[in-house]
Structure 1
Amino acid sequence: MSGDKPSQMMRSWQANAQAWTHVVREQRLPSRRLVTDAALLEAIEQCSPTRVLDVGCGEGWLCRALAKKHVEVIGVDASQPLIMQARAADPYPQRYHHCAYDQLAQAGHALGQFDLLVCNFALLDEVLLPSLKALSTRVTETGHLLIQTLHPWQACNGQPYQDGWRVEQFSDFAGEFVEPMPWFFRTLGSWLELLAEAGWQLQLLREPLHPQQQQPASLLLVLRQCSAGDADTFEIGK
């Protein structure tokens, strides 16, 4: 790989769009098939949203699932090839928009407001503060931000438990992926500090367990915008 890590990451999502689409639609990731997809859908249902923004929608599986439940949903992704995959699989291709996350504050006239913002394994860059602040412009006053991401203790994978860039080689997929993907590892403390700095208050923390390994498959956070007088309390769920 050459160049800076964010650019390499974007090239990976562009070059691997078709391979990733096949993996998701064929349910070839056990963690997603057994745990994380269902955990995300359950958390969304508990928020009872009427209008959802899927940030990092990829090939569109979540948008299609929510649309079947008669939820109004819009998907955005920074990868144009993934947006094309999403549009091709949906009878309503206009619901998908090619957009960098930190540009969402400038897309208000086209997207409007949402009572739930969802980031499902989508926040993988080192510099996330501009994106998290931009998201606050798209949520209603009583709305929520739902983040599902790699569980820091599991994703550490024997390496030092400290923030830093890691590389996903997609070694489980026999050469289908043509570009490795850099991604930025964060500790749990780093996640919470970043979200607080961006003006988001934690409401709920869950650690969905893999049914066989009995280890956390992901970290799931529900947040809302901070306001005057907010107490620093939150709920830990399973």
Structure 2
Amino acid sequence: MDSYEKQLETSWQINSKAWAESIRQEKIKSRITVTNPAILKTILSRNPQTVLDIGCGEGWLARELSQHGIAVTGIDGSESLIEEAKKLGGGTYHWLNYNQFAECPEKIGTEFDLVVLNFSLLSEDIQPVLQACRKVTNEQGVVVIQTLHPSTIIQSQNERYENGWRIEDFHGMGDGYKANMPWYFRTLSTWITDIHQAGLQLVDCDEPIEPLNGKPLSLILIATPK
């Protein structure tokens, strides 16, 4: 594991309590106004009965989906976030990092109607996870990814539009964050290539808009097994 990947994993262990508080107290405005409703709308439009939430955190999405009668299984590499999710309910949760999931995806179930990765694909090498997603969906299943819109990094940070590691300092997301989080930025063409090379076929996408400035805030990609 390289240094950025290790820092990424460690940051979620250090910041788990702060993150849970940010979600519980609705500190992240963009999630409340745009991205949470967008991912819920996308998932519910597919009418799944079973959902696998990869990188489920403290389980907010599982709890929302459970109110619609959907059975949700969640995995996350942060033990403390999984413990929080178990306390709050809404699904079946497993403490499992992405490498463990990729090595044996069937251990947490198969034949899911939908697999969702909601702002949770943060590593440079996402091929193993996407390939594992393909293995646990049923024949009509879909994989739904929500990520930061690739254009946002140019709009807000004046950075070059190219693949590479960036640093999240959690500014404006609440208090208590003690470690910055490395995350890997990829261009739109790289997202498409990664999805294709993982044995998935991109079938639809959406670009939720920030209502005040009219600019795309996130990118939702929907793929099916080839």
- Give TM-score scaled by structure 2 length: 0.94
Letter aligned with residue 199 of structure 2: G
Partner of 1:219: 219
Distance 2:84 2:153 in 1: 28
Partner of 1:103: 100
Q: 1:107 Cα deviation (Å)? A: 4.0
- 1:63–1:75 contact (8 Å) kept in structure 2: yes
What do the CA deviations read for 1:154-210 (whole angstroms, capped 9, x no partner)? 034211100000001122257520000000000001111111111111111110001
Q: 1:145 Cα deviation (Å)? A: 0.2
Q: Which of 105, 109, 112 pairs up with 2:110?
A: 112
Aligned to 2:151, the other structure's residue is in SS state helix
Distance 2:127 2:50 in 1: 24
Query: Is 1:125 aligned with 2:129?
Result: no
Partner of 2:24: 25
Distance 1:175 1:44 in 2: 30
Q: 1:79 Cα deviation (Å)? A: 1.3
- Give TM-score scaled by structure 1 length: 0.89
Distance 1:41 1:171 in 2: 25
- 1:54–1:63 contact (8 Å) kept in structure 2: yes
Matched residue count? 222
User: Unaligned stretches of 5+ in structure 2?
Assistant: none
What do the CA deviations read for 1:87-112 (whole angstroms, capped 9, x no partner)? 121276xx000112243351414423
Runs of 4+ in 1 over 6 A off after TM superposition: none
Q: 1:133 Cα deviation (Å)? A: 0.7
Letter aligned with residue 108 of structure 1: E
Query: Is 1:64 aligned with 2:63?
Result: yes
Between the two proteins, what is the percent identity of the paired residues? 38
Aligned to 1:149, the other structure's residue is in SS state strand
Q: Which of 133, 136, 143 pairs up with 2:134?
A: 136
Residues 173 and 46 from structure 1, CA distance in 2 versus in 1: closer, same or farther, beyond 3 angstroms?
Answer: closer
What do the CA deviations read for 1:78-135 (whole angstroms, capped 9, x no partner)? 111111111121276xx00011224335141442320100000000000111111111
CA RMSD in angstroms comes to: 1.5
Letter aligned with residue 139 of structure 1: T
- 2:105–2:132 contact (8 Å) kept in structure 1: no
Aligned to 2:183, the other structure's residue is in SS state strand
Aligned to 1:136, the other structure's residue is in SS state helix
